Amino acid sequence: MKELREAASRDALLIKKLIQRETALYLEVSDLRQTDKETKRLLFEKPQETLSVHVKVLSLRNEVIDLQEKAEESQAKMARLEKRATQHEVRLGQLEGEFVRKDELFNQTKEELTNDVTDSYAIGFEDAMAQVVCAHPEVDLSQTDLSKKIVDGQLVNAKE
C-alpha cells in the first residue's frame, strides 16, 4: 500500500512538472508564432534565419505533443493506481471486520473455557470432599472451602 502511494506521489510530481513544462512551452509557442509573423515579413531579407525559426517552432510543437502524451499516460496510470488503492482499502476494511469477528469469537470461547475449567475445578473439589466424608465420616470438613489454601499448616483465605 505504501509503495502504491509512493508511486502515486512520484507520478503526481511528474504530472505537475509536465504540466508546468507544457504551460511554458505553450507560452514559448505563442511567442514563436509572433516571431514567425515577423519572420515571414523579413522572409526575403533573412531566409536562413526564417528557416531556423521554423525548425525551432516545429521542434517545440513536437515536444509539446510528446509532453501531452506523457501527461495523458501519467494521468491514466494515476487513475489505475488510485483504483488499486481503493480496492486495497476495501480489502483492508474487510480484513479488519473479519479480525474483529474472530477476536470476539476468541474472547467468547476463552470465557466459556474459563467457566468450564472453573466449574470442573469446583465439581472436582466437591467430589473430593464427598469422597473424604464417605471414607472418614468422623472428619469435620466445615472449614474447608475452594477459596482457602494451606499456609504453615493452617487454612487461610487464598487472597491473604
Q: Nearest 5°: phi and psi at 150?
A: -100, 125
What CA–CA distances, in Å, run from 60 to 19, 23, 27, 32, 64? 15, 12, 11, 9, 6
Is 40 part of any domain? yes
Stated pTM of the model: 0.44
pLDDT by residue (tens digit) across 6-19?
877 887 888 888 88
Residue pair 52/87 in contact (Cβ under 8 Å)? The answer is: no
Q: Which three cell numbers stand for residue 57?
A: 517552432
Q: Do the domain assignments include residue 111? A: no
Note whether 78 and 8 are within 8 A (CB). Answer: yes
Asked if residue 43 is part of any domain, the answer here is yes
Q: Is residue 13 part of a domain?
A: yes
Which range is least confidently modeled, 34-48, 87-101, 120-134? Answer: 34-48
Is residue 160 in some structural domain? no
What's 45's DSSP letter? T
Question: Mean per-residue pLDDT for 38-64?
Answer: 77
Confidence of residue 34 (pLDDT cuts 50, 70, 90): confident
Residue 52 lies in domain: 2-97
Please give the single-letter amino acid code of residue 15. Answer: I
pLDDT at 46: 63
Overall domain count for the chain: 1
Is 48 among the domain residues?
yes
- Residue 59 inside a domain? The answer is yes
Residue 70, in any domain of the structure: yes
